[in-house]
Structures are given as structure tokens and as C-alpha cells.
């Protein structure tokens, strides 16, 4: 039985990991830490409700590390999973904030965690974006080609942790997932926004015609990969985690339309693409399959049906949400 702290605990992927821990494992304690108060049930999915093993604390990891370490020292987590990041590819405005969160706060936190003997493993949630646009599946040791301040900041965080392991034996692992999605994802992301638009008769702006290809995995598949790393992975190892093949955003939106029983052209309208956007993310995930036996189990069709069911269930809550991305510290 283990105790966990999930940083970035209000985000969709931490929510799904908390759900996985509480439902599928013998976790003794699951503590989510986020910068915001808990959101509506559309985003929390009521995970941990009524479960004495679960708690949520509002703490900002950049500005309140004193409070964060008071929490750590009180709860003494054996495993810390860091989902916390400023994560948006269009990161050229106020780019310093990405470094504040994704590099400086991480370095500060890990330096102090090395003084705590209760910590058994630190898992960093990385990104496939640091590999840049690729024409073939790329392995963990492939050249990196970050094309945004966000991707550079995530690469710097990974490199810092890698040196901490090699020189100081800080017990860490890194997972670089492909583009994950799942019920509870914020509306500025393409899949939940497509579902919301389809359910409310709005038109989804399909940037660049949706020709960009990304590799999508369900948040529950990601949760299982993280758990396996925490249980079985050799320290210091980095793992990619993604599906065998990428999918164009256009095909993804077409699948949403099909799941909603509507014609694709009724769901979206073509809008200009983002300047400098990577054209394809594609991971070689053979290492995590070989070491830990992980591969995705939820098909894209089943995952999109899951998203549509979520949208229908929580449409009342979603109608009050802003679909724009807002940069905050």
C-alpha cells in the first residue's frame, strides 16, 4: 500500500490517475494538489467524493512551496507524480512563465525533496512535443527538436531530472505521453470542444483544415502507464507512451460527428492554422511495452464515445465554461 501526492491535481490527467488509484489499486492515500479550488463535477468527475483515502489541497507550486512542503512533511508521500505544468504550445507570449513553472519550480522542489527520506519515487509527466514534428515513430533517445518555449521548458525539466538521477541518485522517472484526452478535459482542447459544439449546434473552428496529425491516448490508458512506472520501472528511465499510429485532427473531428449522428460539415468550419505548428507527433512506445507490458487498451472510437457521453451528462455545467485558453502563472 502506497501514499501518493499528485501535483497539478485539478487537471484532467491527474483526476483520471486519482480515479485509477482509488478504483484499481491498493493505494492507502491519494492527495491531489492544485492551484485552483475544485471545479464543477464536469471536471472533477466527483473523484474521491466520500472516500476517506482522498483529499484535495489548493496550493500554488511556484509561489507557495513553503505550504507545499508543509503538506509533504505532514503526509509523507512515498510517490509524487508531477502533472503540474504550464502546457500550451502557443507559448511565445509571457514565455518566462513556462520556465518559472516547468523548470525553476521543479528544480527548487526536487532539491528540497532530496532531503526527505520518505519519498520513494518521483514521476515527471513530460511531453512528446519536445521531439518536434516527425515523419516516423521516435524513441526516447531520438534527437529532440522543440519548436516552442513550452517544449523547450519541458525538455529543460527532463534534462535537470536526468542529471539529478545520474549524479545524486534522485529516484525519478519520466513519462512522455502522446496527446492524451478524456472526460473532464478543458474546452479549449479540440476533442471536448468538438463534443460541446456538436451538442450545442455551434461550429468548431478547424484550424488549418485539421491536417495536423497527433497521437491520441485515453487518460485511463495514461493512468495505467503511470501506475506501472511507479510499481515496476527501473529508476532513472524515461518512457514514451502512445498509440501505434497518429490520427489527423480532421479524422478525429469526423469521428466525433459520427458519434453524435451528424454530418461532419455540420460540426466544423475551416479556420487558419497556427503559425509554426508541428505537423505530426508520433512515438515509438516499444520500451514501455518491453519493460512494463503497457500498450493502449482503449480504441479511439471507444474513447470518443466516452467523451460524447461525458458531454451529454455534464452539458449544463459546460455551458457556463469559457472555451478560450487563459495564461495564468
Confirm whether 287 is domain-assigned.
Answer: no
Spatial CA neighbour of 15 closest among 184, 174, 176, 175: 184
Q: Average pLDDT for residues 56-65, to the nearest whole number?
A: 97
Please write the tens of the pLDDT for every residue from 290-311. 999 999 999 999 999 999 999 9
Question: Coil, strand or helix: which one is 3?
Answer: strand
Answer yes or no: do 18 and 153 share one domain.
yes
Answer yes or no: do 19 and 123 share one domain.
yes
Answer yes or no: do 165 and 25 share one domain.
yes
State the CATH number of the domain containing residue 128.
Answer: 3.40.50.720
- Average model confidence (pLDDT) across the chain: 94
Answer yes or no: do 36 and 58 share one domain.
yes
Please write the tens of the pLDDT for every residue from 96-140. 999 999 999 999 999 999 999 999 999 999 999 999 999 999 999
Answer yes or no: do 170 and 40 share one domain.
yes
Answer yes or no: do 208 and 235 share one domain.
no
Confirm whether 89 is domain-assigned.
Answer: yes
Answer yes or no: do 77 and 164 share one domain.
yes
Please write the tens of the pLDDT for every residue from 206-248. 887 888 899 999 999 999 999 999 999 999 999 999 999 999 9
- Confidence band (pLDDT; 50, 70, 90) for 325? low
- The continuous run of DSSP H or E covering 226 comes out as helix 219-232
Query: What integer pLDDT is reported at residue 280 of this predicted model?
Result: 86
Q: 54 near 48, Cβ under 8 Å?
A: yes
Residue pointed to by grid coordinates 505548428: 277
Range of the domain at 69: 3-180+216-241
Confirm whether 285 is domain-assigned.
Answer: no
Query: What integer pLDDT is reported at residue 191 of this predicted model?
Result: 95
Inform me whether the pLDDT recorded for 321 exceeds 80.
Answer: no
Query: What integer pLDDT is reported at residue 241 of this predicted model?
Result: 98
Inform me whether the pLDDT recorded for 1 exceeds 90.
Answer: no
9 burial via Cβ count (<10 Å: 0-12, 13-18, 19+): buried
Cα–Cα distance, 154 to 99 (Å, whole number): 8
Answer yes or no: do 102 and 174 share one domain.
yes
State the CATH number of the domain containing residue 194.
Answer: 3.90.25.10
**CA 75 to each of CA 34, 113, 116, 144: distance values in angstroms, whole numbers, following the listed order:** 16, 13, 12, 37
Inform me whether the pLDDT recorded for 329 exceeds 70.
Answer: no
Residue 309 CB neighbours (<10 A):
13
Answer yes or no: do 205 and 151 share one domain.
no
Answer yes or no: do 160 and 19 share one domain.
yes
Answer yes or no: do 176 and 45 share one domain.
yes
Confirm whether 63 is domain-assigned.
Answer: yes
Inform me whether the pLDDT recorded for 327 exceeds 60.
Answer: no
Q: Average pLDDT for residues 25-53, to the nearest whole number?
A: 96
Spatial CA neighbour of 180 closest among 11, 313, 8: 11
Percent residues over pLDDT 70 in the chain: 95
Query: What integer pLDDT is reported at residue 307 of this predicted model?
Result: 97
Query: What integer pLDDT is reported at residue 143 of this predicted model?
Result: 94
Confirm whether 293 is domain-assigned.
Answer: no
For the chain, helix (H) and strand (E) counts, in that order, are 12, 13
Please write the tens of the pLDDT for every residue from 267-284. 988 888 666 677 889 999
Number of domains in the chain: 2
Q: Average pLDDT for residues 170-190, to the nearest whole number?
A: 96
Answer yes or no: do 120 and 195 share one domain.
no
300: Cβ contacts below 8 Å, ≥ 6 apart: 216, 243, 247, 252, 255
Amino acid at each position: 500500500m502506497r501514499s501518493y501526492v499528485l501535483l497539478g491535481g485539478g487537471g484532467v490527467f491527474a483526476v483520471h490517475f486519482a480515479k485509477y488509484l482509488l478504483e484499481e489499486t491498493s493505494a492507502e492515500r491519494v492527495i491531489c494538489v492544485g492551484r485552483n479550488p475544485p471545479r464543477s463535477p464536469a471536471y472533477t468527475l466527483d473523484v474521491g467524493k466520500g472516500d476517506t483515502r482522498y483529499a484535495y489541497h489548493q496550493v500554488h507550486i511556484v509561489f507557495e512551496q513553503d505550504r507545499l512542503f508543509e503538506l509533504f512533511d505532514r503526509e509523507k508521500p512515498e510517490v509524487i507524480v508531477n502533472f503540474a505544468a504550464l502546457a500550451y504550445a502557443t507559448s511565445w507570449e509571457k514565455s518566462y512563465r513556462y520556465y518559472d513553472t516547468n523548470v525553476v519550480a521543479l528544480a527548487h522542489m526536487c532539491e528540497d525533496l532530496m532531503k526527505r527520506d520518505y519519498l520513494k519515487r518521483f514521476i515527471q509527466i513530460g511531453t512528446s512535443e519536445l521531439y518536434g514534428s516527425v515523419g516516423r515513430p521516435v524513441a526516447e533517445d531520438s534527437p529532440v527538436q522543440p519548436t516552442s518555449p513550452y517544449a523547450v521548458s519541458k525538455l529543460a525539466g527532463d534534462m535537470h531530472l536526468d542529471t539529478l538521477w545520474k549524479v545524486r541518485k534522485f529516484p525519478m522517472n519520466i513519462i512522455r505521453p502522446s496527446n492524451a484526452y478524456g472526460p473532464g478535459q478543458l474546452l479549449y482542447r479540440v476533442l471536448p470542444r468538438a463534443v460541446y459544439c456538436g451538442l450545442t449546434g455551434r461550429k468548431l473552428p478547424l484550424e488549418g483544415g485539421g491536417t495536423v496529425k497527433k497521437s491520441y491516448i485515453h487518460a485511463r490508458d495514461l493512468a495505467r502507464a503511470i501506475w506501472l512506472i511507479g510499481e515496476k520501472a527501473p529508476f532513472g528511465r524515461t518512457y514514451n507512451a502512445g498509440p501505434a499510429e497518429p490520427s489527423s485532427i480532421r479524422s478525429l473531428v469526423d469521428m466525433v460527428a459520427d458519434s453524435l449522428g451528424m454530418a461532419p460539415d455540420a460540426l466544423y468550419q475551416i479556420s487558419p492554422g497556427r503559425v509554426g505548428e508541428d505537423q505530426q507527433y508520433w512515438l515509438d512506445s516499444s520500451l514501455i511495452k518491453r519493460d512494463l507490458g503497457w500498450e493502449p487498451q482503449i480504441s479511439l472510437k471507444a474513447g470518443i464515445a466516452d467523451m460524447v457521453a461525458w458531454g451529454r451528462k455534464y452539458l449544463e455545467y459546460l455551458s457556463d465554461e469559457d472555451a478560450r485558453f487563459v495564461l495564468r502563472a
